Structure 1
């Protein structure tokens, strides 16, 4: 069966003795990973797993993950990776929802050591968009360029990535990777007209070999998200004249204040340029006359001091009247997902 396991098998044939996985002082070659994955595949087949069956996997960042992952694929089954931070009740839900026929669960283990040796030459970021100011600070302090990428679970996951061979563009998520098409669409699926200025904003739509077939057991959600092979991501972006994309915000995070569209990420980008601000999250809160008002949750730098009224006054000088936050709350932390994204739905 043709799937991602052929990539491992090809590497095992062409580079059998090359290191594939490194964990501390332990090293496994491509040939060793491939052989171990074959054993997992044989075990699954022997236990009655058929092509197309779902097999769940909970495993931290240890060599067992690629061994079992590719073993499941070699058996022709579908991998259902589960976050290792999930609790029993949550695991049970995902096992039932995915109709998994088998479940591999690994506990403990240490992650791959970070920064133990070698020189940092380039930084790579994904998951949540980094503020341009933070990218600037990393470059100034560590002397490396940060390349940002973009993707979703529905796109397996990479869609775009920064091109290291081209001039760095801070704030850009890069250009589409090989085999992937990207365009900006309006709410009615029509393509956003390129005005040549790079300021036209639309929702990112993706088409390619990496796009999912659909949401399991949810045909209505699939029909809403996919049309003609194009998948709507829910992320708003713009594209410059050279084809580089820049995330503006999540479509659902858009704030409409007094009839004006306000993009929270733009406000957050400005707030983190304040010398006392470390991180900011902006949301819309109900307002009687404006519909929504802009509220900012701010974490201050260690040792820094700033009052909410000072930040509001500073914001008034930096942004248009309809943009700057009228409400600022200084907090010690922000609710985060396991992948480091801010949970804005928990901010009020």
Structure 2
């Protein structure tokens, strides 16, 4: 079966040629113009001998050049390798060599890093350009061909290249645009998420362009800048991670303007504290739909959907065509499913599950077991199907022989009136194995002592769960997608 991610854009360009596809500052590209730019840059790639079987890396920020380059690589029939924009040259060079990239597309402030990395890998750097020639149409690809290689964050060892097929990405964009969000050409989606990340790339960019809606890009996120953009561009859908929702909630507290067109927020990438969800919904007068997924699941796997209902604190039900279940986390070589109500490892199967890790059969075999993808996340499913993510397996704290899930502690501390953000980790302890530590950022102008927060937690949690150690920070360490880097907190002793 022939299927290409490039058709997400080409079909919308055919149906909505004069509608705005991408907004970046003063730049407004119609679908017809964007698709023309894509086919012209695809012709440039073809002229350099790039086609089926080749991989092209893309190192660009959240600018209009990202969709131009991304879809041009796919239209040329090649595989796109989006590169993390915060990597140093040596790390980029590793991705280039490991992926076997034939060229690197880069520009702007990232050009120096790109040139150093490309030189080390022995490949050329290309700028996004529109040549005189234009491909007549996008190259055909099989549904099972690899469309993108997305590198994981590499929290343990070198990052791995997740192989996502055209079917994976087309289905995920289609489900997100239709069943989950009901996007129409009248919608305007704010894309603050990094486009090199699976969430921003698939759920924001691909889904928006699949629906013929407008994608507004914000190259550098801040709460005030995002709020200003939402008001100015009449944004109807905001997609972000919990730290972005926190920043927006803080921003709107000091701004009289309201984004009147906003109809829904989408949260993913990390667990959203219910207290933060409630504060945002009260301030913005809209609802947040929380979802769940990983790079290896394209990424959307489960979602709070209109068809199945919404329950704050959960990640909803599996998206169309996907199954999610709970398995015994101790049975690594087989998937032994557990009944509803028991905590175990979340496993997923369906059209969204990736094709494996590039040149790493051992790592692939460890996560693709009995037809299921083992996520490494602990969760529990209610009898009515709602899935709750308890925590990452690696973040589980074992204090004195008792399991403590950091998210449960974080939810309690997030409700303290002085707490803006919190992350809970386990620190080595000679007597109990691990001790519970809360890293806390206080709300602007608020005061609280460690003793205050310990007492608050002790009243609301079991004796083995409340934190004995509280560290106050000015900010939490964040990854490029806004996820809290708990490894950094553990290494620093919080």
CA distance in 2, matches of 1:17, 1:56: 30
CA distance in 2, matches of 1:22, 1:333: 31
- SS of equivalent to 1:252: helix
Q: TM-score, normalised by structure 2?
A: 0.66
- Residue 285 (structure 1) aligned to one of 427, 436, 445: 427
CA distance in 2, matches of 1:141, 1:27: 30
C-alpha RMSD of the superposition: 2.0
Q: Which residue of 2 aligns with 1:30?
A: 31
Query: What's the CA shift string for 1:101-123, capped at 9, x where partnerless?
Result: 11100225972734324322211
1:111 aligns with 2:218: yes
* Structure 1, 72-81 or 155-164: larger mean CA deviation: 155-164
Instruction: Select the structure with the greater relative contact order (CA < 8 A; seq sep ≥ 6).
Output: 2
Query: What's the CA shift string for 1:218-253, capped at 9, x where partnerless?
Result: 211111111243211111112223322221111110
- Residue 267 (structure 2) aligned to one of 109, 114, 125: 125
Q: CA deviation at 1:5?
A: 1.1
- Residue 466 (structure 2) aligned to one of 299, 306, 324: 324
* Structure 1, 67-76 or 16-25: larger mean CA deviation: 16-25
* Structure 1, 185-194 or 261-270: larger mean CA deviation: 185-194
1:164 aligns with 2:306: yes
Q: CA deviation at 1:56?
A: 0.4
Q: Which residue of 2 aligns with 1:64?
A: 65
Q: Which residue of 2 aligns with 1:294?
A: 436
Contact 2:338 2:344 in 1 (8 A): no
CA distance in 2, matches of 1:49, 1:289: 60
Q: TM-score, normalised by structure 1?
A: 0.93
**Where in structure 2 are the equivalents of 1:14-25 lying within 5 Å?**
14-25=15-26
- SS of equivalent to 2:66: helix
Q: Which residue of 2 aligns with 1:190?
A: 335
Q: Which residue of 2 aligns with 1:307?
A: 449
Q: CA deviation at 1:325?
A: 0.8
Change over 3 Å in CA distance of 1:207–1:334 after alignment to 2: same
Q: CA deviation at 1:25?
A: 4.1
Q: Which residue of 1 aligns with 2:90?
A: 89
1:273 aligns with 2:389: no
Change over 3 Å in CA distance of 1:220–1:178 after alignment to 2: same
Contact 2:335 2:372 in 1 (8 A): no
Q: CA deviation at 1:86?
A: 2.3
Q: CA deviation at 1:333?
A: 1.6
Count of residue pairs the alignment pairs up: 345
* Structure 1, 317-326 or 23-32: larger mean CA deviation: 23-32
Change over 3 Å in CA distance of 1:162–1:106 after alignment to 2: farther
* Structure 1, 265-274 or 166-175: larger mean CA deviation: 166-175
Q: Which residue of 2 aligns with 1:257?
A: 399
CA distance in 2, matches of 1:145, 1:165: 15
1:149 aligns with 2:150: no
CA distance in 1, matches of 2:107, 2:396: 40
Contact 2:309 2:316 in 1 (8 A): no
Contact 1:183 1:191 in 2 (8 A): no
Q: CA deviation at 1:145?
A: 0.8
Contact 1:294 1:325 in 2 (8 A): yes
CA distance in 2, matches of 1:256, 1:22: 48
Contact 2:267 2:288 in 1 (8 A): yes
CA distance in 1, matches of 2:322, 2:31: 27
- SS of equivalent to 1:314: helix
CA distance in 1, matches of 2:439, 2:67: 39
Q: CA deviation at 1:316?
A: 1.3
CA distance in 1, matches of 2:31, 2:300: 23
Contiguous gaps of at least 5 residues in structure 2? 111-216, 220-228, 235-259
